[in-house]
Amino acid sequence: MYWENPSVLLGLWILPAVAGLLIYAHRKRAAAARRFADPTMVRRLMPSMRSARPWVKGAVLLLALGCLIVAGARPRFGVYFEETVQRGVDLFVLLDVSRSMTAEDVAPNRLERAKSDIRDLLQELVGDRVGLIVFAGKPVVKAPLTTDHGFFRVVLDEVDTHSAPRGGTLIGDAIRKSLEAMPPQRDRDQVVVLITDGEDQASFPEEAAEQAAERGVKIFTVGLGDSREGGRIPVRDDSGRLQYVKETSGQEHWSKLDDRVLKKIALATGGAYIPAGTRAYDLGQIYQDHLATLAQGEVRAEKRKRYRERFQLFACLGIVLLLVEMGIPAYRREHAVAVPREQRR
């Protein structure tokens, strides 16, 4: 048996407290009756408190609460096998995490916008393997190729400008790292999605793109940022005050989108360039328009072991027990004692 929400089972600790309250209430009720009338009158006017019904009623209530708590934990038992389909695409996302990606010409900034769009892309990658490489002065594999998209999301959420060594934007090195981390596969299409502002610093990205083309790896490039005015790069000083990166001349540096290299990379590999700029774009829709047709290679099906949801059984039983508890009288009804007419006078 497996539990979807095992922490809910902690609620079972409330059952002893409820039982204690029921016992306390029963005893208080009996004590109150004895205090306001003599025993003979109590027996004539009130139902018997020594009956087992209050205890049966309380036990049914506790059992109902226990069933509802167990249902909330969503138990799973009973094995069945589900057929899952593995599509034939390996996709590496190359994400620029250099300091220029904190420019705010794209709301809230370039990096956070890129992460949000990658999450949209994940919704379209059902069955595909996806990996994540972040780069600045050096590329770092944060998530190898995996079908565990939950793990990928956790890794993506933790990405910031400190996830890779600083010192520039080396697009070429990031592409070569993806080729190294993505072994050749004849039965699977291989794709790279490169998201950056395009400010490469002598890493020979065009030569790296040619290597990708020889391997049959398509690269789709996404250019983020304003290509005309650009955006300032925010930093904070030691006192926490917001400032902006300045050039050696003392002027504030404005980071602009450089899409020339990105276009060449996409063209050399048979991919496509997406000029996102500062406007809204849907990376998931871009996948459907450009990448979904790649998943025409070998499709593999496999059966995976699953456990059936059984919370419905406990939920229904709990509700039925609550109805039964409501229908049980708290005390046994005593038959009325006939009083002769003469005594009434």
The DSSP annotation for 65-106 comes to HHHHHHHHT-EEEEEEEEEEEE-SEEEEEEEE-SGGGG-TTS
Picking from 298, 317, 336, the residue at the C-terminal end of a domain is: 298
- The token pair at 68 is 């509802």
CA distance 298 to 186: 9
Percent of the chain with pLDDT over 70: 82
Please state which of the ranges 47-51, 210-214, 247-251, 341-345 shows the lowest mean pLDDT: 341-345
Q: Are 201 and 183 within one domain?
A: yes
Q: Please check whether residue 136 is in contact with residue 97, taking contact to mean a CB–CB distance below 8 angstroms.
A: yes
Answer with the residue of higher pLDDT: 248 or 74.
74
Predicted pLDDT at 153:
94
CA distance 163 to 101: 13
Three-class SS state of 338? coil
Q: Are 211 and 335 within one domain?
A: no
CA distance 168 to 57: 73
Q: Which residues contact residue 97 at a Cβ distance below 8 angstroms, ignoring those fewer than 6 apart? A: 111, 134, 135, 136, 159, 160, 161, 163, 164
Percent of the chain with pLDDT over 90: 27
CA distance 132 to 124: 16
Q: How confident is the model at residue 222 (pLDDT cuts 50, 70, 90)?
A: very high
Identify the domain containing residue 181 by its residue range: 88-298
What is the mean pLDDT of the segment spanning 193-220? Answer: 90
Q: Which residues contact residue 113 at a Cβ distance below 8 angstroms, ignoring those fewer than 6 apart? A: 106, 107, 224
Q: Are 10 and 69 within one domain?
A: yes
* CA distance readout (Å), 27 to 1, 21, 35, 93, 144: 40, 10, 12, 68, 65
According to DSSP, residue 108 is labeled S
CA distance 87 to 185: 13
Q: Are 279 and 179 within one domain?
A: yes
Three-class SS state of 254? strand
CB atoms within 10 A of CB 88: 19
CB atoms within 10 A of CB 64: 20
In a 13 Å sphere around the CA of 45, the CA atoms on its Cβ side amount to: 10
Q: Are 187 and 72 within one domain?
A: no
pLDDT in tens, 75-133: 888 777 766 555 568 899 999 998 888 888 888 889 999 999 999 888 888 778 899 99
Q: Are 242 and 317 within one domain?
A: no
Q: Please check whether residue 190 is in contact with residue 216, taking contact to mean a CB–CB distance below 8 angstroms.
A: yes
Domain containing 256 — which CATH number?
Answer: 3.40.50.410
Q: Please check whether residue 169 is in contact with residue 98, taking contact to mean a CB–CB distance below 8 angstroms.
A: yes
Answer with the residue of higher pLDDT: 291 or 328.
328
Q: Are 51 and 143 within one domain?
A: no
**What is the number of structural domains in the chain?**
2
Q: How confident is the model at residue 335 (pLDDT cuts 50, 70, 90)?
A: very low
What is the mean pLDDT of the segment spanning 130-142? Answer: 93
Whether the predicted pLDDT of 345 surpasses 80: no
Q: Are 56 and 97 within one domain?
A: no
Q: Are 149 and 220 within one domain?
A: yes
What is the mean pLDDT of the segment spanning 9-25? Answer: 88
pLDDT in tens, 260-306: 999 999 999 998 898 887 777 777 777 777 766 664 444 455 566 67
Answer with the residue of higher pLDDT: 137 or 343.
137
CA distance 24 to 17: 10
Q: Are 133 and 182 within one domain?
A: yes
Q: Are 230 and 177 within one domain?
A: yes
Could you give phi then psi for residue 204, rounded to 5 degrees? 55, 60
Please state which of the ranges 69-73, 96-100, 223-227, 242-246 shows the lowest mean pLDDT: 242-246
Length of the chain: 345
How much is the mean pLDDT over the chain? 81
Q: Are 150 and 238 within one domain?
A: yes
Please state which of the ranges 69-73, 74-78, 158-162 shows the lowest mean pLDDT: 74-78
